[in-house]
Amino acid sequence: MTDLPTPQSPLKLGTRGSPLALAQAHETRDRLANAFGLPQDAFEIVVIKTTGDDRSMIDADRPLKEIGNKGLFTKEIEEAMLSGRIDIAVHSMKDMPTEQPAGLVLDCYLPREDVRDAFICPDANSLQDLPQGAVVGTSSLRRRAQLLHRRPDLQVVEFRGNLQTRLKKLHAGVARATFLACAGLNRLGMTDVPQSPISPEDMLPAVAQGAIGIERRVDDARAQQMLAAIHDAPTALRLSAERAFLAALDGSCETPIAALAERDGDTLRLRGEILKTDGSAAYAGDISGPVDTAADMGRALAADLLAQAGPGFFTH
């Protein structure tokens, strides 16, 4: 490749501005720099504010479904890439819609981090330890539904904001406990946060939780070649099953859906769960098959759960 980026003409990485988003952009930059023997200043990190980052909406603690759904954290970044303001975009994959806008492609994933949710509470070690009627904060419809399905006595309140903001609200007493992704805590090195990781057997994570994806323009041959050098195929395999499951369910920020694919040799196992937003009903299942049928497995499991749930399950 002869047209590698230089400090004078850097490759521009678009990202949201939260500490976690920046940590993910830095990881992407460092992997690209190491793969091609380039200095860090051959890359420029461009922070882009998205609809989901609007401070007035965060401060108002408005539920995500009132602001929008698909593309809430990606639309402005993708527009910047289509206009040529940035070359590639670094995303948390659990925020990504299952389809990309025309002209863009998402085909590079970094090695996946810890997929689990972490229970965060200063004075309890697990959900079961919380007293009757305790207040739990979360902005995730998936976590809200899973919590209320397991503990309908709990009071679940809206907990918007980035990871640091949610921890501040917890320490301020807005809620007794909250949940964060282990991946985010690990990427930020926040080992001092009192946390109890939750086994996927007890609480399935969001689709693609713990995975970073890098989006590019379809016609950008340089970006395609550079990203191929840092692409993690095992992560891509697992996400193909999980995102096919999500796509078949037409999942959005208004739909509580959980899924996790795990590989064992030549076999892939996919577990999935769909829930009513109020936790009043949940259907879960799993499917196993050859790794080269990952996407087909995702669609098959989605069809099975929808058949169990019956028509109108996601109508609230």
pLDDT of res. 59 = 46
pLDDT of res. 56 = 46
Domains assigned to the chain: 11-112+210-231 (3.40.190.10), 117-198 (3.40.190.10), 242-308 (3.30.160.40)
Which tokens is 23 given? 């940590």
Q: Count Cβ atoms below 10 Å from residue 36 Cβ, excluding itself.
A: 16
Per-residue pLDDT of the chain (316 residues; tens, 9 = 90+): 669 999 999 999 999 999 999 999 999 999 999 999 999 999 999 999 877 665 544 444 554 444 445 566 788 999 999 999 999 999 999 989 899 999 999 999 999 999 999 999 988 999 999 999 999 999 899 999 999 999 999 999 998 788 888 888 888 989 999 999 999 999 999 988 888 999 999 999 999 999 999 999 999 999 999 999 999 999 999 999 999 999 999 755 567 999 999 999 999 999 999 999 999 999 999 999 999 999 999 999 999 999 999 877 876 5
pLDDT of res. 181 = 94
Within 13 Å and on the Cβ side, how many CA atoms surround 263?
18
Q: Which residues pair with 258 in a beta bridge?
A: 273
Q: Give the 3-state DSSP-derived string for 66-118, with helices as H, strands as E and coil as C.
A: HHCCCCCCCHHHHHHHHCCCCCEEEEEHHHCCCCCCCCEEEEEECCCCCCCEE
> Annotated active-site positions, please?
95
